[in-house]
Structures are given as structure tokens and as C-alpha cells.
Amino acid sequence: MLHFSTSRTATSQSRNSVGTMKSVTSIAELRAARAKLPETVGLVPTMGFLHEGHLSLVRRARSECACVVVSIFVNPSQFSPSEDLEAYPRDTPRDLSLLEAEGVDLVWMPDAAVMYPPGYQTWVDVKEVTQPLEGGMRPGHFRGVATVVAKLFNAVQPQKAYFGQKDAQQVVVIQQMRRDLNFPLEVVVVPTAREADGLAMSSRNVYLDSEERIAATVLFNALNAAKDAHLAGERDAEKLRQIMEDTINAEPLAKLQYLSCAHPETLQELEKVETGALLSMAVFLGKTRLIDNLVLKE
Ligand code: AMP
């Protein structure tokens, strides 16, 4: 069941010290504005409520591309009915002024009714790599993600698309889809932006109360405890998982949902770490679900 919000048709254009940023909503407006952009075009897909993590993607795109397109779309099809679609934080005026200050050329803010008009029935279903980890906890999530990203790629036709390492499985799924569906673009992966105490930046961090916010550093601490053990020579994946679990369980406000030490490409759980691994986890702080990850390299 998709939730449609009321339609918004306004097109705005404003000027700043960097240049002219245009924002559009419909596919027709987007295609017309895109056609005027010189290549290379870099696309940064977001769900808005922007923070420094998003802006690090925008800056990377700005440094590598002639033009930067940012999409803002809280994609209903990647939320299950029990998840926080309606409550997902939104602040469009603030997002637009942040993007304008970064010198973004074009912002696309489609409505759900633009992306999924009545009668919509085409879905992108990536198989194996969507099954474990986030896919195991959030059935249908990556079907929604892959579908909306395919639609963004088709509409914007960027030469480069920027995604955060923060959502490690999303990167694997998008790379798989890009190969399988022959999208002629490069996927660029940008490192996770963190707060000073190591907490990965996330739009959902605003849900944390002050005690939960302090306790939330436990994800980064658990990942680092396993990384230190790996650096010291530990190659038994189960021991690395145990180290992370013990760290999470030592924090009374944290409730572990899953953790993993997996192959960085197949995302299958490892017994031995031989050529690198993806450490990842989902942890509840109160009602807020946080994810984080770290890549172990040989
Ligand atoms: P979202 O708005 O949460 O869908 O995120 C949009 C993009 O920003 C995705 O590619 C995310 O992986 C990326 N992103 C979100 N948080 C961070 C972060 N802390 N560091 C780097 N990239 C991030």
C-alpha cells in the first residue's frame, strides 16, 4: 500500500552567490531542466532532512562533475506499513538553502504520485544480495530502493551517482542493479560522515533523547572493538561477532537487532576473515533504530 501526499506543482528558481539553483517536481520539468545541463552530471539521491553526511556526497559530486542534481524524495515503497514513513523528518526550505549554498544546479522533489501514479506496477527485484542483513529485517525495503533508484537513473540520466557507505548493503544492491540492468553510469561510494564522538550522521538521530544520544556511540565502539581485534590478528568471524555483541550488550539503553561479519560483496556470513569483511549492525536506542558498519581490509 503506497501513501500518496498531496501534489505540489510549483517550480522555484532563485539566485545565490554560487549560481542559479532550479527546483522542479514533475518528470517533464526535470527532463527539460536536465536537457540544458552540460555534462558530466552527478546525481545525489536523498530523502531530505539533510545533514553533513548528505552534504559530503554533494561536495564530492561538486568536485567531480560539471553539474550536480540532488533528488529529495521520501520513497513510500521502501517503508513497510509498520515503519516511520509519516513521521520521517522533513524540512524542505532548510534543505533547499543548504543545497543552494553548496552550488547545486538542480533539485528534483517529486511527489509520490509523480513516482507511483495510479496503476503503477513495475518493480526492480534484486535477488541474493537483498536477502540478508537489512533485507532480512525489512522485507521489501530493497525492492523499493532499487525501483526508485532505477527511476531516478532513468529520469536524470547522470554519468555519476553518489551513495554513502553508511548504507553499505544499499551500495551493494545498487551496484548489482547497475550491472544487471546496464545503467551507463559510475556509482561513487562516499565514506560515512560521523559526529565528533563517532556516531554516524543520520536523519533519524533527531529522534534520540539526550541519554540515548550518548549511548548511541556504542555502535561505533562495537565496530572499533572488532576492528582492533582484527588488527591484532583475530580472523575468526564468530569471535569478532562476539566482541561486537558483548560491547552492545554492555550498554543498558541499547538493544541489538542483528550484527554481522560478512563477505563485502556477497554479504554472506563468514567463518574466517581472509580477504576483508563488512562488519555491520542494527541497534535500537529506545524506539530509534540505528545502523552502522565498517569495512575490514586485509
Ligand atoms: P537518505 O536521505 O538517508 O536516504 O540518504 C541519502 C544518501 O546519503 C544515501 O546514499 C546515504 O547512504 C547517504 N548518507 C546518509 N548518511 C550518511 C553519512 N552519515 N555519511 C555518508 N553518507 C550518508
Residue numbers in the chain where pLDDT is lower than 70:
1-19
Q: How far is the CA of 164 from the centre of ligand 1 (A)?
A: 5
Q: CA 84, CA 162: separation in Å to the nearest integer?
A: 24
Global confidence as pTM: 0.94
Class of domain 203-296: alpha beta
Q: Is 46 in the pocket of ligand 1 (CB under 6 A)?
A: yes
Q: CA 48, CA 202: separation in Å to the nearest integer?
A: 11
Could you tell me the CA-to-CA distances from 278 to 125, 171, 253, 266 in Å, in that order? 23, 12, 25, 10
Q: CA 56, CA 70: separation in Å to the nearest integer?
A: 12
Q: Is 110 in the pocket of ligand 1 (CB under 6 A)?
A: no
Q: Is 24 in the pocket of ligand 1 (CB under 6 A)?
A: no
Pairing of strands 106-108, 160-164: unpaired
Number of the ligand 1 atom closest to the C-alpha atom of 194 = 19
Judged by DSSP in three states, 156 sits in helix
Among residues 71, 154, 62, 144, which one has the least CA distance to residue 103? Answer: 62
Give the model's pLDDT for residue 214.
98
Give the model's pLDDT for residue 113.
97
Give the model's pLDDT for residue 19.
67
Q: How far is the CA of 236 from the centre of ligand 1 (A)?
A: 31
- Segment 277-296, tens digit of pLDDT: 999 999 999 999 999 999 99
- Portions of the chain given CATH number 3.30.1300.10: 203-296
Number of the ligand 1 atom closest to the C-alpha atom of 167 = 12
- Portions of the chain given CATH number 3.40.50.620: 6-190
CATH-assigned architecture of domain 6-190? 3-Layer(aba) Sandwich (3.40)
Among residues 138, 142, 119, which one has the least CA distance to residue 129? Answer: 142
Q: How far is the CA of 50 from the centre of ligand 1 (A)?
A: 9
